Structure 1
Amino acid sequence: MDIFDDDSARHVTRTSVLHGADWFFWLALLSIVNSLIVYFYNTPNTPVALGVTQWLDGTNGGIGSAMSLGWLVTNILIASCLAMFGLLARKGSDIAFVVGIFLYVIDAFLMIGVQDLFGFGVHLLAIFFLCKGLLASRHLRENAVSI
């Protein structure tokens, strides 16, 4: 007799999918918090910022200049796209996982472009957990039984 029955294994896999999808929400939330800190306190970006938002902040006039409200709204909209990928991934969309991971990998390369290697490391960690969620989602779908 197995220690785990089929329902228990399916529950563990489903939980892994949800945890992987939740990384999209964490990344979006941390990016929004970072953008608010940069906007209100005029500080440099933190390592949890998205590369594209750091690039936009840099084209805004550099770290020394204040971020305008338009750039803040743009940063929040970009982070909201990450949250949308998380919502779709939680509903079981493998395509949301794949597209979200692909865009986040591009964002990781932008982190190298803005010379934030610690931020690149944070991106690699997040990509690892997002990929774990994608693999769990694929495993759940492949082992699904249709009636």
Structure 2
Amino acid sequence: MYLDGEDDLRPMAHLAEWIVHETSGKRHQLAVGRGLFGLRVTVDRRILQRFDQTPDADRYVASVAGHVLTVTVPRASHDQPTLAVDGRVVLGSETTLTPPEAGATAATPTTLTGEDLARYQLLQRRNAGGTWFYWIGGASILNSLLYAAGSQWGLVVGLGFTYLIDGFATDLSGTVRTPIYAFVIDIVLAGSVLLIGRAARRGKLAWYAAGMAFYLLDGLLFIVVQDFLGIAVHGFALYRLWGGWRAGRALRRIENVALVAAT
């Protein structure tokens, strides 16, 4: 079982690699590499999402045959990634999973705690909420292209402001095509939403809140024109965004407490 991930078939330059054997003879391959889209940690070609992060390193976690595998990737480029199984650091490139001895304790402080799991869940919720900004920005760009092509169809999750801008610009120009300057404004607005999504998924809660406020204002346009489907979709998206922002705020509290305790 993996905590998160998807199939990874893209080539990458390996920074570290381990082979993990089960007592049944089954093998698992863990790899840390760098590809076109940055750092990736995989287990049997499945991408692991980052579990948590500290100023010094990022951690990636997977559960295999009842054992917790933790890959720690230091931020410093000259330090090598490490693998720990049930809190014990693996020395070498291969290890065998064995049942823990009665009364045995972890040899290192890398064992996961309840607080670690809570941080992971909050991180996933924050990022899931922030992903909605990507949907909104992408849908807005698609809607602008469809409007320019003369289509009456569009995705209601997109920005209403782009429709407003395109409509005004088309009326002012007296043409049936969307003027170039209006399309550029659409791209700037949609691109800004995409950038807000990137900031939100990185824990920038002020930008997260600003994005929600902007989308709430955008939703008022659908209320004015009484587009009930648009109102419902905007309301649902705002609900998911709000849940992600609350998770991000809770995560920040936990991290602040941990920083105070460490000083």
Common fold: TM-score over 0.5: yes
Q: Bigger CA drift: 43-52 or 65-74? A: 43-52
Shift of 1:45: 5.2
Are 1:43 and 2:151 matched, yes or no?
Answer: yes
Matched residue, 2:140: 31
Shift of 1:44: 2.6
Shift of 1:87: 1.1
After superposition, the C-alpha distances for 1:47-85 in whole angstroms (9 at most, x for unaligned) are: 2331111111221235x9321222111111100111111
Which amino acid in the other structure matches residue 42 of structure 1? G
Q: Is there any run of 5+ residues in structure 1 with no aligned partner, and where?
A: none
Shift of 1:14: 0.4
Matched residue, 1:141: 252
Matched residue, 1:89: 200
Greater share of residues in helix = 1
Which amino acid in the other structure matches residue 58 of structure 1? G
Partner SS state of residue 112, structure 1: helix
For residues 100-119 of structure 1, the aligned pairs below 5 Å read 100-119=211-230
Which amino acid in the other structure matches residue 161 of structure 2? V
Matched residue, 2:186: 75
Whichever of the two has the greater Rg, that structure is 2
Q: Which runs of 4+ in 1 moved over 4 A?
A: none
After superposition, the C-alpha distances for 1:76-120 in whole angstroms (9 at most, x for unaligned) are: 110011111111111111101111101110000012223422112
Over 3 Å counting, the alpha-carbon distance change for 1:116 and 1:65 in structure 2 is: farther
Are 1:17 and 2:114 matched, yes or no?
Answer: no
Partner SS state of residue 37, structure 1: helix
Pick the aligned partner of 2:242 from 131, 135, 138: 131
After superposition, the C-alpha distances for 1:16-51 in whole angstroms (9 at most, x for unaligned) are: 111111111111011111111111x21235223311
Q: Do the aligned partners of 1:94 and 1:134 also contact (CA within 8 Å) in 2? A: yes
Q: Is there any run of 5+ residues in structure 2 with no aligned partner, and where?
A: 1-112
Q: Please, what TM-score do these two structures have when normalized by structure 2?
A: 0.51
Report 1 or 2 for greater relative contact order, CA contacts < 8 Å, sequence distance ≥ 6.
Answer: 1
Which amino acid in the other structure matches residue 242 of structure 2? C
Matched residue, 2:163: 54
Alignment length, in residue pairs? Answer: 142
Greater share of residues in strand = 2
Identical columns (%): 30
Q: Bigger CA drift: 4-13 or 29-38? A: 4-13
CA distance in 1, matches of 2:152, 2:177: 10
TM-align CA RMSD: 1.7
